[in-house]
Amino acid sequence: MGKPNFAWTRRIRCYDADMISTGTRALVATICLAGAGPAAAPRDTQPAEAHPLKIGITTYTFFSRRGWDNTEPRAIANSGLITGLSYGADSAGFIYDPDTDTFTDATPPGSTFTITQGMNRFGRITGDGREPAIGRYGFVWQQGTITEGQRELRPFLVRLKIDVITTARGINDSGVVVGRTTNADGRSDGFVGSDARGYQRLVAPGGEMPGNSTFCQGINNFAQVSCQVSDSEGNPLGAFIGSPR
pLDDT at 3: 56
Compute how many other C-beta atoms are within 10 angstroms of the C-beta atom of residue 228.
21
Please check whether the domain covering 6-12+65-244 is classified as CATH 2.130.10.120: yes
Residue 240: which of 43, 17, 1, 27 has the closest Cα?
Answer: 43
DSSP class per residue in 159-170: EE-SSSEEEEEE
142 CA to centre of own chain: 17
Q: Where are the beta strands (DSSP E) in 183-230?
A: 188-194, 198-202, 213-219, 225-230
pLDDT at 2: 58
pLDDT at 127: 94
Give bridge partners of residue 229 from the DSSP assignment: 214, 238
Compute how many other C-beta atoms are within 10 angstroms of the C-beta atom of residue 232.
12
Residue 90 per-residue DSSP state: S
pLDDT at 152: 56
Instruction: Collapse the DSSP code of 202 into the 3-class scheme (helix H, G, I; strand E, B; otherwise coil) and give the result.
Output: strand
Q: Is residue 134 within 8 Å of residue 111, measured between CB atoms?
A: no
pLDDT at 138: 94
Write out the chain's pLDDT in tens, 245 residues.
655 677 775 554 443 333 333 333 333 333 344 443 333 333 444 444 555 666 666 788 899 999 999 999 999 999 999 999 999 988 999 999 999 999 999 998 889 999 999 999 988 999 999 999 999 999 998 876 655 566 655 567 788 899 999 999 999 999 999 999 999 989 999 999 998 889 999 999 999 999 999 999 999 999 999 999 999 999 999 999 998 87
Question: What is the model's pTM?
Answer: 0.74
pLDDT at 18: 35
Instruction: Collapse the DSSP code of 37 into the 3-class scheme (helix H, G, I; strand E, B; otherwise coil) and give the result.
Output: coil
* Domain spans of the chain, in order of start: 6-12+65-244
Rounded-to-integer distance, Cα 112 and Cα 110, Å: 6
